[in-house]
A and B are shown apart, each in its own frame.
Chain A
Amino acid sequence: MNQDLFIQNLFNALTVGSLYALIAIGYTMVYGILRFINFAHGDVFMVGAYFIFFTVNFSIIPWPLAALAAIIGASALGILVDRVAYRPLREAPRISALISAIGVSFLLENLGLVIFTGLPRPAVQPAWLVDPIIYGNIRILPLSFVVPAVTAVLVLGLLFIVYRTRPGLAMRSIARDIETTRLMGVSIDRTIALTFGLGSALAAAAGIMWAMRYPQIHPFMGVLPGFKAFIAAVVGGIGSIQGAVLGGLLLGTVEIVAVANWPELSGYRDAFAFVLLIVILLFRPTGLMGEKMEDKI
């Protein structure tokens, strides 16, 4: 592999990895607090991509505002899903919430089919993001700089909220001991809603950027990225935000490197993610940055 190709692949890996990381954070944050996997998360990512499709095409607001509106919309959807499908099951066995999550996932996908139709739609691609920059033999889309940069800003913003604000303190505290946290005056429902809101906002941001890189949106576009981001979260150590970012970047890198080195295997691209999951879990069952297994009492 020559150097030019290497640089190109590096940026590809960073881009795909960033997107996995953004989605993975939502899985990991919800798991950290509620100890269950929100299977509908990948579909919130899909809805984010659709929202911007509509806000850009059917309104006159400028693109950045349209993106913001899509993110806020998806965030509201995430909070609504929690309110309707998970909150009533807080006292129920965890398996019930899990089944409910799978149900919500099917519901969102099929609602998507009904409302948006199954016809893939072209995503909006602002020219300044997709006109390649050519430097010698290197062709890089501006998107490949923008996606990692936006991801970095979003992740730093999230870490600020989690580690430097009062609601963040409440989130970290609930993750460990719900009852004591309530005794301190924290409203569990509000804090969980905030968690879903933040996770969904990041998923929507990923959905918007994903649609620019793979410019076709359809109701099932969230399934595979969702699964892979879930893998990234587990590989990084589920429950850990830093782990989710690391897992996402690692997964993106493995995919791109494997396909670049063995183009004949590109058909197995998606399988790499699952092989990575199995290998890492064999050696580190709690993931790269996961804490020791602790059963919640």
Chain B
Amino acid sequence: MLELRDMQVWYGGIHAVQGINLKVGRGQIVTLIGANGAGKSSTVRAIAGLVKGLKGQILYTPHSGPTVNLAGLPPEKIVAKGLALSPEGRRILPHLTVSENLELGAYSRKDKAAIAEDKEWVYSLFPRLKERHWQKGGTLSGGEQQMLALGRALMSHPDLLMLDEPSLGLAPILVQEIFETIKRLNAEDGRTILLIEQNAYAALNIAHQAYILEVGSIVLEGPGRELRNNPKVREAYLGG
């Protein structure tokens, strides 16, 4: 459903992403792993329309309808097409309530009744958010904020859910919870997910397909479990 063809990102003179080819199939969890500064975030930010110096093609095939090139579209158009990004660092609006944060996530939609339904669904996914629906986003704990960020991205009813480092800064028990949720969203709900992670082990465990990024280029790709057992990957990313 999504295919990057020779996608490049330039920040001024810096070639942050040096022509990557990547495919996300419908119903899959695809993960992009790599060290800090490898270009993972730049890649998803480019797909979401946040990057200016973009070259190459971002081909997206929606559920129904022809394939379109997303390169050059503004972020608000891209969300409306069904791609949601939960950005790195969660980026909860701290002065808005939990409920308002979720409603903001549904801004690209007009169907009021379905939005309300989805909100209840997100609350059922994360009962903690329901308990705190009137609280300001800034007063939540890190784990709760991550749930809110995930729920907010889901509120746009995305075809493709992109998660940028959802485990960043969370306690191990919470990391496990988040990964469980991602797995469930894919298995039970049929959601297609593009997952950016530094926590390579956890990501490779749940991914159907994985890409490894080093200094702006993809150096290895294959099914998640296969890469997990690859000696080079074990040495570089899984601590031997």
Interface size on B, residues (CB 8 A): 25
Contact A187 B76 (CB under 8 A): yes
Question: Looking at the complex, which one of A169, A179, A187 makes contact with B104 (CB distance below 8 Å)?
Answer: A169
Contact A179 B50 (CB under 8 A): yes
> Which residue of chain B lies nearest to A186 when distances are taken between CB atoms in the complex?
B107
Which of B93-101, B212-220, B227-235 is found at the contact surface with chain A?
B93-101
A169 to B101, alpha carbons, bound, how many Å? 9
A181 to B85, alpha carbons, bound, how many Å? 11
Does B128 reach chain A (CB closer than 8 Å)? no
Distance (whole angstroms) from the CB of B71 to the closest CB of chain A: 16
Contact A185 B93 (CB under 8 A): no
Residues of A152-191 whose CB lies within 8 A of B: 166, 169-170, 172-173, 176-177, 179-188
Does B174 reach chain A (CB closer than 8 Å)? no
> Which residue of chain B lies nearest to A175 when distances are taken between CB atoms in the complex?
B95
Contact A170 B91 (CB under 8 A): no
> Which residue of chain A lies nearest to B95 when distances are taken between CB atoms in the complex?
A176
Does B152 reach chain A (CB closer than 8 Å)? yes
Q: Among B93, B95, B96, find the residue whose CB has the most chain A CB atoms closer than 10 A.
A: B93
Question: Looking at the complex, which one of A172, A183, A187 makes contact with B87 (CB distance below 8 Å)?
Answer: A183
Distance (whole angstroms) from the CB of B21 to the closest CB of chain A: 25
Does B108 reach chain A (CB closer than 8 Å)? yes
Residues of A191-228 whose CB lies within 8 A of B: none
* Number of A-B residue pairs with CB-CB distance less than 8 Å in the complex they form: 62
Contacts of A179 in B (CB 8 A): 50, 87, 91
A41 to B79, alpha carbons, bound, how many Å? 34
A169 to B95, alpha carbons, bound, how many Å? 11
Q: Render B92-135 as a binary contact track against A, CB cut-off 8 A, 1 for contact.
A: 01111000100111011100000000000000000000000000
Contact B152 A185 (CB under 8 A): no
Contacts of A173 in B (CB 8 A): 93, 96, 104
Question: Looking at the complex, which one of A166, A169, A177, A182 makes contact with B76 (CB distance below 8 Å)?
Answer: A182
A110 to B100, alpha carbons, bound, how many Å? 45
A240 to B79, alpha carbons, bound, how many Å? 30
Contacts of B103 in A (CB 8 A): 166, 169
Does B166 reach chain A (CB closer than 8 Å)? no
Contact B93 A183 (CB under 8 A): no
Q: Render B145-158 as a binary contact track against A, CB cut-off 8 A, 1 for contact.
A: 00000001000100
A22 to B96, alpha carbons, bound, how many Å? 25
A182 touching B104 in the complex, CB below 8 Å, given contacts A169-B96, A172-B96, A176-B93: no
A184 to B96, alpha carbons, bound, how many Å? 14
A182 touching B93 in the complex, CB below 8 Å, given contacts A169-B100, A169-B104, A170-B107: no
Question: Looking at the complex, which one of B75, B79, B85, B104 makes contact with A170 (CB distance below 8 Å)?
Answer: B104
Does B74 reach chain A (CB closer than 8 Å)? yes
A230 to B75, alpha carbons, bound, how many Å? 34
Contact B100 A184 (CB under 8 A): no
Distance (whole angstroms) from the CB of A189 to the closest CB of chain B: 9
A173 to B91, alpha carbons, bound, how many Å? 11
Contact A184 B50 (CB under 8 A): no
Residues of B48-87 whose CB lies within 8 A of A: 48-50, 74-76, 79-80, 84-85, 87
Distance (whole angstroms) from the CB of A162 to the closest CB of chain B: 12
A170 to B79, alpha carbons, bound, how many Å? 15
Contact B105 A184 (CB under 8 A): yes
Contact B156 A180 (CB under 8 A): no
> Which residue of chain A lies nearest to B52 when distances are taken between CB atoms in the complex?
A91
Contacts of B84 in A (CB 8 A): 183
Contacts of B156 in A (CB 8 A): 184-185
Question: Looking at the complex, which one of B85, B95, B100, B109 makes contact with A183 (CB distance below 8 Å)?
Answer: B85
Contacts of B49 in A (CB 8 A): 182
Closest 7 CB pairs of A and B: A185-B108, A185-B79, A182-B75, A185-B107, A180-B91, A184-B104, A184-B107
A-B contact pairs, 30 of them (CB 8 A): A169-B96, A169-B100, A170-B104, A170-B107, A172-B95, A172-B96, A173-B104, A176-B94, A176-B95, A177-B91, A180-B91, A180-B93, A182-B49, A182-B74, A182-B76, A183-B75, A183-B84, A183-B85, A183-B91, A184-B79, A184-B107, A184-B152, A185-B76, A185-B79, A185-B107, A185-B108, A185-B109, A186-B76, A186-B107, A187-B74
Further contacts, 16 of them, CB under 8 A, given A181-B93, A187-B74: A166-B103, A169-B103, A172-B96, A176-B94, A177-B91, A179-B87, A180-B93, A181-B104, A182-B50, A183-B50, A184-B105, A184-B107, A184-B108, A184-B152, A185-B79, A188-B76
